[in-house]
Amino acid sequence: MNGRDLLILFLAMGAVTYLPRMLPLVMLSRRQLPVWLGEWLEMIPVAILSALIAPALLTQSAPRTIVLGKPELWAALPTLLFALKTRSLAGTVLVGMLCYWGLRFLLHL
């Protein structure tokens, strides 16, 4: 693959990445969305984050089995409470890391 082909490949990858993000913004920026659609769209980040985090907290690898004794899950509980109470991102990250490291130290993992 020569330099020209590589440049075309990079530009095409950039377009494929950028266009799906840009087109809805351009098409919908001047329109008034229905209230129900706006509320529905606000839930998408929460659903995606939950789908990414839940398997890591609740299951073990192959075969997938539910395990409630994982340190990640037990560290997430006080972290969640702290986040809901303070709404501090930096504090939540710090509390989560300290809880996880503390549990790993106490359980000798």
Q: For the chain, which residues make up each domain, given as ranges? A: 1-31, 34-67, 68-109
Q: Would you say residue 63 has pLDDT above 90?
A: no
> pLDDT tens, 71-103?
999 999 999 999 999 999 999 999 999 999 999
What mean pLDDT, rounded, does the chain reach? 92
Distance, CA of 102 to CA of 58 (rounded, Å): 19
- Cβ contact 99:78 at 8 Å: yes
Q: Residue 90 has what pLDDT?
A: 97
Q: Average the pLDDT over each of 53-57, 60-64, 65-69, 100-104 and give the range with the smallest value.
A: 60-64
Cα–Cα distances in angstroms (integers) from residue 14 to residues 2, 4, 68, in the given order: 19, 15, 42
